[in-house]
Each structure stands twice: as structure tokens, then as C-alpha cells.
Structure 1
Amino acid sequence: LVFVNTRMQAELLFQELWRINDLGLPIALHHGSLDASQRRKVEAAMAAGTLKAVVATSTLDLGIDWGDVDLVIHVGAPKGASRFTQRIGRANHRLEEPSQAILVPSNRFEVLECRAAVDAVEAGAQDVTLSRSGGLDVLAQHVLGTACAGPFNPEALFAEVTSAAPYSALSRDNFDRVVDFVSTGGYALKTYDRFAKLKATPDGRMRLAHPRFVLTYRLNAGTIVAAPVIKVRLVRRRSFDKRKALTGGRVIGEVDEYFIEQLRTGDAFVLAG
């Protein structure tokens, strides 16, 4: 299992391995820009033990429980002891068998970084954040989620929230500001009714302004903003027609919409997938 840090590195390394693969051994590529169906095919082949090598990015960091991975090769500095330990652990996923890995610096500057990563792993050091303060965006999600379950008392909710370690230092003023943001949309959005999601009841509790917000919340819960993506299709040259260029063809991957917006007709770019 060959790990790299970027999709571009994965593409270039896989192409080079394919070029020197004179024996025609079954090898594969796995990263986030590949179509989901293609990734599933690679994962199924790995589970079946039919592949001799796979070049991958962080998409195969977690969730692998296949004992047929004999060796991990990490090309480039791992950018952290925790990531390196996690990737090493993909090899020899069998009881009481050690994991084996080879770390390959991609340039002279990464030699020291790789040495530091090896020393950290041997010392059992990790670069994880053991504690952090709670984010207000997560709190806003929780406030709205609580309201979706029914009217709530701000006093009781504040006590509940501050009982959690990440929010133990949360001030009542900041809590009230978050509740107001969910209720009105904040100073920038308060003129739009669709962002006014909470209303106060006569007894001082807060409730949803409209039942439709329940469905919206359940379908969009989470604090990761989804960036629009555009599917890239492979159109055969002999059947290419400018009038039908946007139809048909096998999906070979996706690119972010903001990236496409920067291109002009006729531009060439490398699709990492």
C-alpha cells in the first residue's frame, strides 16, 4: 500500500508504476477525486486480495481491516506522527504481527521531517489536540437541533451546554448571542424571514418558527460546508459534437466548481482522477 499526501502525487506515482509494470501485475489507484464507483471497485479488489499494489491518499487512512497488506510505503513526509502511525498500522493487520513500513523522503528538506516522524513514533508521541474549546457554529447547530425536538428553556440549555468540557468556559453572553443568531439570522440576515428560525413563547421558552425547519435541519445537519462540484465526463473524439458536448460519456471524476470558473474554453489541466 503506497501512501502519498496529494492527489497529484498519487496520479504521477501510479502512472510511473504502470509504466514499469512489465509483468502486468494488478495495481490500482485510490483517491477522493475518482468516481465513487471506481473507488468501490478498488476496495472490493483489495478485500478479495487480487491486487498487488494500491497507490492512495488519505482516503485509505481509516477503515481498512484487510490482512493482506504486507507493506506500507510512504512517499513524502507524513506531515505528523499520528498520521504516520495510522498509516503504518494498515500493514499486517493481523493479531500479534508487527506492521512494516518504508518512509521515502521526496526531497532533501523532507529528510529531517521524516527522521522526526520516525523518532516521534518510536517515542510514542502524538500530535493530536487533546482538548479544545467548543465552536460556536457547532453550538448553533445544537441549539437548532434542540428546538427541532421541542421548545426549550434557555437557562436549562445553557446549563446543559456548559456541563460539556469544550463549553465549560462559555459565557452566558456568548450563549445568548448564539441563540439570537439562530433566532434572527444575525445582523446580516435578520431582514430575511427564512433565517428567523426561533420564536419566544409566552413562558420564556424558545420554539421553532416554522415546522419546515425540522426537515431542513435533518437533511443538512453538520458544520462542513459542501462545495459545489462538477462531473467530468470522457467523450470519445469520433463522437464529439460541440452541440452535445455536455451529454453522455463515462464519468471519470469531479472538480470543484470554483476551479472550473477560472478556466477558459481551450484550457488544458491535469485532472487528479
Structure 2
Amino acid sequence: MDETTESLWDPAGITRFQEPPPAVTAARASLASSGVHLMPAVAVRAHCGAGEEDWARFATHWEDLARDRYASERGTCRLRRYGQFSLTPATGELSQLPDTPFVQPDRSNPLYVDVDRHFDPLTDAFVADPLLRSVVTLLGDLAGALEPAACWIAKVHPFRVVAPAGGEGQPTPEGRHRDGVTLVSSLLVGRRHATGGRSAVFAPDGHELFSATLDEPASLLVSDDRHTLHSVSPIRPLDPPRPGHRDVLVTTLTPA
């Protein structure tokens, strides 16, 4: 199969081979050349074929997250769940894998190297949401620009970072880091009463390759985790006496 022709999955569940949409082609080219790409919300929404009601339903899953006790131990209020899937690019088949602890490899996240972190599993409703399948298969199309894989392992983390009244929330308390994967992505799901949270991607020598504040739901930032580092600045309440939060879906892909 030619590298520019990928297996795409449509909302009806029909696998087909065709030229990728221009937004996907642009994202693949940007990833391959610079190691980072911001896919605008309008392009992500069009690719996923979902309307406002679908995205609103998807966002409700962030109301059913569990406290991250590991972040709490370091003074950050973060809610999350975690699960793994296998993705076969040639067919678009996405299968949930058994629940396991989350472990990051050596030379990646400096706070949790080789630490088994146990998080609450993804809810059945979240796993069954067709938008999750659309997003993960899109990421598989993008990751194919970085290296070939007959099967990807997708690690899926719905996150909510809370900025308490008068304080701040830390999306990445570890600072600049890698996740030890091929592709790392951050999909903005929503922000409420929050400012800050600027996402940045860096070359290994510390040179900033890209930075932006994701403020429109469905904006998708992807980067080549093999050759870059990433971080997100703190969030703060827009109105200091009121708490705020930032909801994202972080998904990483690595060859099986």
C-alpha cells in the first residue's frame, strides 16, 4: 500500500481505501517534517463526521472521572481514567485491551519512571462512544507518517485538571518530558472558568518548536514523541474566587 493511501473509518463503520482528506495529508506532512502539528477543530470535526450534539455528549464523560491520587500527592488536583486499545490500520479495527497499570519507560517522565500507576478504568459508555473510535483511528492515520505499524497500541487518558479558587492547576507537573511512545496527542474537550494551559513542544536541545493555547473544543495537537518533548503551562481561574478546569483527551500510540 502506498504511504499516502491510508485505511480510513467512516461513522457507519465502513472501511475503505482512498486518498486522505487534505487536513490529514497536511498533518502527516507536518509531523514528518517538523515533528508537531496542530489540527484545527473544524478539520477534526469534519473528519470525525460528528455534529455539535455528538461533541456535547462526548464531553459529558469528563463528568465521570476519578481522582488521580498520584497527582494529589504532589499537590495537583487532577481527575482521570485510563485504558488501552489495539488499532489495526489496514482495517480500522479497534479493540479494547485488558486493564493494566500505567507504566512509563525509562528516560521519559521523570516523576514516574518505572512506577506502576493504577487508575480507574474507562467507563463502558466512554468506550462505546463512536467519537472515541473516530479520534483514535484518525490518530492511527497520522502516526503512520512517522513509522509503519501493522498494529498500534493506543493508551487513552481522559483528563481534567482543576485550578482551585485562588490557586492554579498543573497539567504537566513533571515539566518538559516524553511519554516514551511514537505519537502523543492532546484533544481539547473543554475549558471552564480557566485561563492559561499553553501547550508547547520542544526539540531535544530545548528549542521551542511550537506553542499554542488550545481553546476551541476538538482542537488536536500531535507530536513525534521520539524526537520532541512537551509540556503545558499552569491553568488559573478566570475569576480567582471560583475554580476552573481544563478537559483534554490524551492519547498515545506505539507499535504493538
Larger proportion of helix: 1
* Bigger radius of gyration: 1
In terms of fraction of residues, the more strand-rich structure is 2
Q: So what's the TM-score if we normalise by structure 1?
A: 0.21
